[in-house]
Structure 1
């Protein structure tokens, strides 16, 4: 018996006498169920007829909304009068805290190094006293405790100050370049490496600071002084470390003096660090914003203001004193005859 299979893809009719085929030899499509010609073939699909959507279906038209009456309230509505403030965040930004406390840590570091220098001076005084007198062991123990404690505290504060200053430098560079519409050309990794790698950190921190200064001669002077003290302090630290290998008594005494000088220079460097930070932030020592002063040129004929007497002073003087007008006129005449007054009258300082 000959059966026929139709391809569902290309509609090709294939004759089949054996087992039904599954794939079309021509297009590799799926062959439908075989059927015998002249008989009612069994379709593998069926037609489903659905009536079309009537175009004349009546569309529901929404009725026009009628004007509602004006709302009236028996009391003041409270649904719009509650100002809900956002809850304060419990997450603390450590980087911002480090930036804000950088000058504070620098000042405390300077104090710690000053105390360390005083402890070294006290130890040197004990050495001088020990040449002719015996020293109480309690005094020696107190001296050793003061030197070790002050040095350890100063070292810890130095590390904390260095970390805070690196955070401050990164934040200050981003803020300065953003104010000019630019991005910081140096990456975070390069700034940290320039401040942390020994040897490189003697040069790169000053370079990072000088890139922030534009037209501020005082800031340039402070940065150069800080740079000089920073490099000199590193040199003294290396000399102090090498000096400890000398075992003579005089060398040990000189090492105490060298340690005291190194501590004093470290204190100066810490103070200059705080001054540089405050100067670049345009703030005072207490962290307040600086009030700029404006100088206005004045022609030679302008006279400086003359202080007038208060009403209480005028009443106590009585009739024997001349009037305020005559006093002001005499003072003005006297100032006109003074060369220094004429020189001071060339410029008038006015607060901004």
Structure 2
């Protein structure tokens, strides 16, 4: 039996991984994982335990890329503050993850849908139906950049687990030509696949439990990285106060309840008073907090907030200083 769990963080040794790569001569994401050679013989519990061990590599991979991720956050935020947009582009699982992250920004941060956009090879149909053949068309990736008029303040994040997807490389080449910030996310080392981009993020999680199935660890680590990029960018843009989503879109009962709880927690108001404050602000938590903190009316608070580019903390500190 190949699989055992002497400790919860067991991984393939670096030396063994190097030899393994040299012997196979393929991309890291296409390697056979020696820890799961008997996958079909494991009990369900052993299978779950193996997944848990291997998924620890996703956390480690993000930590190893922390400087590149931080640089990407700063570059994306700088561009967006000047009117730019953030684009994720990919095919298959990578594309779906980009679309998912983009779709979560409007309800979480009350951003317009065009600010963060996910682009997937094959369009919306590819979200629910396999369209892997379309990832080989570099010209389609280029066309996506032209269609959206990508320019110098925009950031384009190309996502490809194996690093070779022509659709993504075509998009990044076109984006770079048009002056956009280009960011590459892949799960193979740079020496296996090179990328001519501004920021090169490599998330090395090693071979998959099911050989070549990059919806597993590669998908997990990609989701972690996109969580960091979008949330970090919104923090830099002032859409967070403390650790509260003060730009939350109040579009249903759950989000209204969240908005009221934020107001109650940060102001000490009761539920009814918080509800009145929310209504008076036009259901904008950030503005409601500023009105409460400064005793300004809605119009004056809006002007102050606009003066500070929507940064609540800066607006409060300036008014109270």
TM-score of the alignment, normalized to the shorter chain, above 0.5: no
Q: Which structure has the larger Rg over C-alpha atoms? A: 1
